[in-house]
Every structure is written in structure tokens, then in C-alpha cells.
């Protein structure tokens, strides 16, 4: 019987060459919008347009941005920038205006430095407004440039009206871009924009660019809001603080010059910091005008700079009482701040850019803030002593609370497991327990950890699937017994009044290999916590550590020394190699190593990539779109012994969304 030709139409259920589908253009975004943007509402797709306008102002072009909420549900953004170029791209032979809105990874912000169109910008991935276009039922763009106005219209991400050019009408602005888009409701939980978040976003642009005029026009109500801050960060922080500052505001800025050894010209930060004795704290950070609501390495740099400067002042003036030890949180606890960092090539976590991951940003911000605060404190000694009193009082209160916890635990009868390498501190908020896969990885973790506040419990092999194990029989399993005794909390159900007073660690972190086996161990441990320790999850005490899968050794380049970079997955690996290529280093000159497991890492590598609070990736375990009952039903479907048919149906329906690691 002859073989079936490769181009024959496959029978239903068959797997043939024609089964492979290639998503083109904006189709990936429209099929998986959650990978590219927030889908609870359209704010982020509007923000991408707004960020482009702000990047023009940051580059020194234009002093006005206007956003209009139209009656028909559309949103328009107008700026006075240079206008998007509309001629033909020299390589693609298509209008640049069309490429910007219809091609992923097409933009003017990849080339950084003096040779690029933008020295500093929030744009990094090159998918911004193309995602906005992909998820809009209609988008209109007009670019005013060189006395002409270029106009294009898109529908469902595709060109509806091709590029048209005409002379700019009399009285029209000389340059700038206007984008009007109609977000498609089918991609979002709600089509309504959160007005409070939008206003905060617009106000922040005015705060970070003193003198920039930002307006919000609401056609339905006829209301117009306007923001302009000549005093920048200082004015904004003083207006927003819920309580009077203990000492005058500490504000300043610092940027690298052309001859700086470690950072590019213009990189640095501006800040305003206030200390209050009571009330809520205000903490906002930005990178190249992009709000980073989840913080990141620039926040860590500010925290480290504050701590080192205040600690140095206290030691210089011999203000610290005997027996009191200062920690960073003692200084940071009552600090409110607004931080605006400028980073040449920012690396964000995810497409919506909520957290900055650039490791150099920690050193960048700390190196400019610390000397400035040290100088300020020693020029204002009376204010410095007031701040020192506040910080020392916080340290004393923390130590008293830790002593109370220690006494309460001293009468316990449970014997800690012998495999547990405990930490020295007894402060719940600081202590962390890492549940580590295997003795080899446990050894590296023990050597690389912070002995003061990080404990390690190695686990042997894969933990028991406890989804259908009766609670009374859990302690029969040695590994689960050791976990329960180490964390100091008994197994319980969601309906139980669980006693968390014996909890010994503020963070219980699952640390497994970055491969498929490691993912399986993660799932088994998550099943244990969700089923038998739900109150720990509900209270936010359970985390998953994300170690890297690849190490890239980058050789020395001129004055730049050799360096190591780490990638969580293939996507980050490609980004690192692309960055090396842009820096003039051939990809094949970089040495790529894949970690077979955590045990291959030495202590220093494990600390730098996975244990160090300032540089690690630590994900909190929390409920997503499903509530507790729905989550239990879903986990039961995945982990229950009698749910094989349901699992098979799930894999048939959604298996193509999973990338298999062989």
C-alpha cells in the first residue's frame, strides 16, 4: 500500500504537515491577548499610545498632551512631538506608519544612545501600539510632519484606508501625532476605562516632566481636567502626603556624565523622599515615565541608598543604643517617596511593564542617592538626629516584638526536623523558608543563603500527591511531616479556624529546578498548600522561586569587562543574545550553558539569581480569576485520581497552548 502524500488532506484527528499553523502579523495578539496586555479593561492599550506621546516630550519635543474620552467609547491622544515618519521603510518597502501599527517588534526605540531617535524611552519590546491596534475594532492615526498630514485607518488590526498624504490645513499644528482608537469589547472583561487609574496615569506624566501640560477631556460630561507641575516631584509628594513630614523633604537628582565608567550618559534618577511618624505611606516609582506599580530594582536601589546613608549618619554620631541592630526596614518603614529613574535599556517583567528587572538599576539609583543623602544629613544635623530617633525607635519595637514571639515558641514540644538548616532571626516578617528539591541543591542553598533570615529544608524526591489524602494521615509521610513542623502550622481546611500563631516564617518559598520535573514538584507542593494549608495561601505566605534555566557568559568588550547573564526561558535567552548583537558582539561569541538543575549552581550563583531579595524572581501564590471553590474544582480536575477523563478532555482542548520542554 503506498504512503499517503505529505500534502494530502489529513483525516480528522490526524497530525500531519498541514496541522502546523503559523500565526502571522497581529494574529498572535488577537488569539492570546493576555500574553501582551491586561484584559480586565482597555487601560493598558490606551497607555501604550499615551506613553509614545510622553516619550516625545521626554526627548524634548512638545509641551502639551491631550487625551479625549469620546461619547462613542473611543479614546484619542494628541501630542506635539515630531510626528511618526510616513515614508517608505528602506528595507521593508512599506510605509513606516503602517509598520508601526501592524508589525510586532517594529519601533523606533530599539537603538539606544546618541545614534537612536530616542536616548531614553519607556518603549522596549516594540509591540506597544501594534497591540493597541490589534485589540481595537478601529484605529485612526494622523501624523503631522514637514508641512504634511499623513492619515491611515485600521480595522481589527488590518489596513482599512491606506496611507493618504495632503498638505496640513491652515492653523493646524506643525508637528505631532493624533491617535484615536475604539477598543474592541470582546477582548476585555469590561470596556469601561477605570477613570481614577487613568487620571493618576495622566497626572504622573505631568509630575515627571515639569512644565508639561496634560489634559483630560470627557465629552459625555463636558468636564476637562488639567495638570501641570512646575515643581515636579516635590510638589506632587507634598500634595499627596496624608501626614506632615517629620523633617523637611529630601529631594535631589543625579545623572551619569559622558565619562562615567559604569553607566551611559544621562542615566540616573530624581527623587523626593519624606518621613512621617503616622498614617499611610505613599510610594511611587517610574522608569522613563512608565509607572512601575510592582516596584523593581530601582526601588531596591533607593531603599539600599536610604539605609546605608542613615546607618552611616547614626554610626558617625554614635547615636545607636547598645544592643540595637539596624535593618533596612527600620529606615524604610516610614518613608514615602516618588522616584523617577532614567535607564538607557530597561528590562521589564512582562509586557505591561509593572516591575523593573534591570540588575544595574539597583546600583545606579543607590550610587546617586546615597552620597546625596549623606551630604544632606551632615549639613542638617538636627534633622538627621530627628530621623535617627524615628529609625532607632522602629528597630527597638521590632526587637521587642521578636522577643515576645520567641518566648511564646519556647514552650513548644515539636522537635524541628534534622534536615532543616534554620535561620538565626526569629522575626516572622523577615524570615524565609526555602523548600529545595534534592540534597545537592539544598547544599548550594545552605551555603549561598543569608544565614540571618533564610532557612533551607531539602526534600527527597517528589512529594506525595496529597489532594485525596486524609488530613489525619498526612504525618505518616516524612517529607510532609517535616514541612508542617518546620513552618510551625498544623494542616487544616478552608472551613477551619486555623491557628497561624506558631508560624515561623513570613515567606515559605518553593524552590525547584527550572525544568519539567521541577514544575511537577512545584505543582505537588502547591497542591499540598492549597488543600491542607489554605490559610497560609490566603494570608500571602506562600511563594514560588524562579531560578534561571540558562547562563550566558559574555566576553569582555573593550573597556567592558566579561559578564554573566541569566535567563528564565528561551524568550529571555534570545533577548540577551539580541542585546549582545546590538552592542556589536556576535551571538556565537557568547557561551550558553543550560542548568540541568539547581545542584549545578554554586552558592554564589544561587544567591545572585534566586535567593537575593534585590535580584531574584519570587512569585506570590494567590487566587487568580477563580474563587476558592472554583480553584478547588480545577485543582481536583488536575490532581484527582478519578479525573483521568476530565484531564484528557482538558489536554485535547488546550494542549496546543503548552510549550513542551524535552
Assess contact for 327 and 399: CB atoms under 8 A.
no
Active site residue 189: no
Tell me, yes or no, if 513 is annotated catalytic: yes
Q: Which pairs from 467-471 meet CB under 8 Å and 24+ separation?
A: 467/527, 467/531, 467/635, 467/636, 467/639, 467/640, 468/640, 468/641, 471/532
End-to-end CA distance of the chain: 34
Burial class (CB in 10 A: 0-12, 13-18, 19+), 239: exposed
What whole-number distance in Å separates Cα of residue 505 and Cα of residue 431?
A: 5
Is 353 known as a binding-site position? yes
State the Cα–Cα distance between residues 535 and 382, nearest whole angstrom: 46
Confirm whether residue 231 is marked as ligand binding.
Answer: no
Distances (CA, A) of 267 to 368, 468, 483: 10, 55, 46
Of 299, 302, 273, the closest CA to residue 356 belongs to 299
Catalytic hit among 156, 265, 345, 515: 515
Q: Is 477 annotated as a binding residue?
A: no
Nearest Cα neighbor of 177 from 37, 61, 288, 25 is: 61
Contact present, 264 and 344 (Cβ < 8 Å): yes
- Tell me how many helices (H) and strands (E) the chain has: 18, 23
Task: Kindly name the residue from 437, 479, 490, 608 that is annotated as catalytic.
Answer: 437
| CB contact set of 379 (below 8 Å; sequence gap of 6+) | none
661 has catalytic annotation: no
Q: Please answer whether residues 437 and 513 qualify as being in contact, where contact means their C-beta atoms are separated by less than 8 angstroms.
A: yes
CA distance 475 to 481: 5
Which of 345, 354, 450, 517 is the catalytic position? 517
Candidate list 360, 432, 479, 513, residue with the active-site label: 513
Is 326 annotated in a binding site? The answer is no
Residues 498 and 485 sit within 8 Å (Cβ to Cβ)? no
79 annotated binding-site participant:
yes
124 is in an annotated binding site: yes
The reply to whether 129 sits in an annotated binding site is yes
345 carries an active-site annotation: no
Which residues, in sequence order, are bridge partners of residue 435?
Answer: 457, 510
Find all residues with CB under 8 Å of 182, minimum gap 6, and list them. 72, 73, 74, 136, 137, 138, 139
322 among annotated binding-site residues: no
Answer positive or negative: Cα dihedral of 585, 588, 589, 592: positive
232 is in an annotated binding site: no
Instruction: Answer yes or no: is 419 a known binding residue.
Output: no
36 assigned binding-site residue: no
User: Which positions make up the binding site?
Assistant: 15, 52, 79, 123-129, 353
User: Which positions make up the binding site for ATP?
Assistant: 15, 52, 79, 123-129, 353
Catalytic residues, by residue number, are 437, 513, 515, 517
Amino acid at each position: 500500500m503506498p504512503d499517503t502524500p505529505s500534502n494530502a488532506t489529513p483525516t480528522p484527528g490526524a497530525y500531519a504537515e498541514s496541522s502546523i499553523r503559523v500565526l502571522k502579523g497581529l494574529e498572535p495578539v488577537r488569539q492570546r491577548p493576555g500574553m501582551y496586555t491586561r484584559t480586565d479593561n482597555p487601560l493598558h492599550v490606551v497607555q501604550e499610545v499615551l506613553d509614545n506621546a510622553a516619550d516625545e516630550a521626554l526627548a524634548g519635543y512638545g509641551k502639551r498632551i491631550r487625551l479625549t474620552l469620546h461619547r462613542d467609547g473611543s479614546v484619542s491622544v494628541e501630542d506635539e512631538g515630531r510626528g511618526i515618519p510616513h515614508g517608505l521603510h528602506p528595507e521593508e518597502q512599506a510605509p513606516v506608519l503602517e509598520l508601526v501599527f501592524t508589525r510586532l517588534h517594529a519601533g523606533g526605540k530599539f537603538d539606544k544612545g546618541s545614534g537612536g531617535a530616542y536616548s531614553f524611552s519607556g518603549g522596549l519590546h516594540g509591540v506597544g501600539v501594534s497591540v493597541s491596534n490589534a485589540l481595537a475594532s478601529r484605529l485612526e492615526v494622523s501624523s503631522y510632519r514637514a508641512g504634511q498630514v499623513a492619515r491611515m485607518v485600521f480595522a481589527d488590526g488590518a489596513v482599512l484606508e491606506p496611507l493618504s498624504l495632503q498638505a496640513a490645513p491652515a492653523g493646524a499644528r506643525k508637528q505631532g501625532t493624533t491617535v484615536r482608537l475604539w477598543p474592541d469589547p470582546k477582548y476585555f472583561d469590561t470596556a469601561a476605562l477605570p477613570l481614577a487609574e487613568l487620571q493618576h496615569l495622566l497626572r504622573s506624566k505631568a509630575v515627571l516632566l515639569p512644565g508639561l501640560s496634560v489634559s483630560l477631556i470627557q465629552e459625555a460630561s463636558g468636564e476637562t481636567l488639567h495638570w501641570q507641575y512646575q515643581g515636579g516631584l516635590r510638589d506632587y509628594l507634598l500634595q499627596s502626603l496624608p501626614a506632615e513630614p517629620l523633617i523637611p523633604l529630601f529631594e535631589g537628582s543625579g545623572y551619569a556624565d559622558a565619562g562615567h565608567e559604569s553607566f551611559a550618559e544621562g542615566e540616573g534618577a530624581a527623587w523626593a523622599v519624606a518621613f512621617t511618624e503616622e498614617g499611610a505611606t505613599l510610594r511611587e516609582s517610574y522608569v522613563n515615565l512608565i509607572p512601575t506599580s510592582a516596584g523593581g530594582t530601582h526601588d531596591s536601589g533607593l531603599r539600599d541608598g536610604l539605609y546605608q546613608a542613615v546607618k552611616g549618619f547614626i554610626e558617625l554620631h554614635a547615636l545607636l543604643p547598645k544592643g540595637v541592630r539596624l535593618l533596612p526596614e527600620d529606615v524604610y518603614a516610614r518613608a514615602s517617596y516618588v522616584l523617577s529613574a532614567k535607564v538607557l535599556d530597561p528590562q521589564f517583567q512582562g509586557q505591561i511593564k509593572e516591575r523593573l528587572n534591570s540588575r544595574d538599576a539597583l546600583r545606579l539609583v543607590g550610587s546617586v542617592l546615597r552620597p546625596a543623602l549623606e551630604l544632606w544629613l551632615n549639613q542638617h544635623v538636627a534633622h538627621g538626629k530627628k530621623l535617627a530617633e524615628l529609625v532607632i525607635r522602629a528597630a527597638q519595637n521590632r526587637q521587642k516584638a521578636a522577643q515576645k514571639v520567641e518566648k511564646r515558641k519556647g514552650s513548644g514540644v515539636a522537635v524541628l526536623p534534622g534536615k532543616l538548616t534554620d535561620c538565626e532571626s526569629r522575626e516572622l516578617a523577615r524570615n524565609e523558608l526555602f523548600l529545595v528539591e534534592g540534597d545537592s541543591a539544598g547544599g548550594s542553598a545552605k551555603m549561598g543563603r543569608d544565614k540571618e533570615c533564610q532557612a533551607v529544608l531539602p526534600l527527597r524526591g517528589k512529594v506525595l500527591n496529597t489532594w485525596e489524602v486524609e488530613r489525619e494521615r498526612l504525618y505518616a509521610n516524612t517529607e510532609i511531616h517535616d514541612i508542617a513542623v518546620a513552618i510551625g502550622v498544623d494542616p487544616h481546611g478552608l472551613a477551619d479556624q486555623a491557628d497561624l500563631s506558631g508560624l515561623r516564617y513570613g515567606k515559605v518559598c518553593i524552590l525547584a529546578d527550572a525544568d519539567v520535573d521541577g514544575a511537577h514538584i512545584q505543582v505537588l507542593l502547591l497542591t499540598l498548600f492549597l488543600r491542607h494549608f489554605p490559610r497560609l495561601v490566603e494570608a500571602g505566605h506562600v511563594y514560588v522561586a524562579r531560578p534561571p534555566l540558562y547562563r550566558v557568559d559574555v566576553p569582555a568588550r573593550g573597556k567592558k569587562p566579561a559578564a554573566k547573564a541569566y535567563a528564565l526561558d528561551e524568550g529571555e535567552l534570545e533577548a540577551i543574545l539580541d542585546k549582545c548583537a546590538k552592542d556589536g558582539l556576535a551571538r556565537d561569541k557568547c557561551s550558553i550553558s543550560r542548568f540541568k538543575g539547581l545542584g549545578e549552581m554554586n552558592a554564589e550563583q544561587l544567591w545572585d539569581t534566586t535567593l537575593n531579595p534585590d535580584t531574584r524572581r519570587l512569585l506570590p501564590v494567590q487566587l487568580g480569576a477563580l474563587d476558592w471553590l472554583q480553584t478547588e474544582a480545577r485543582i481536583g480536575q488536575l490532581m484527582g485520581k478519578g479525573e483521568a477523563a476530565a484531564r484528557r478532555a482538558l489536554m485535547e482542548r488546550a494542549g496546543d497552548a503548552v510549550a513542551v520542554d524535552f
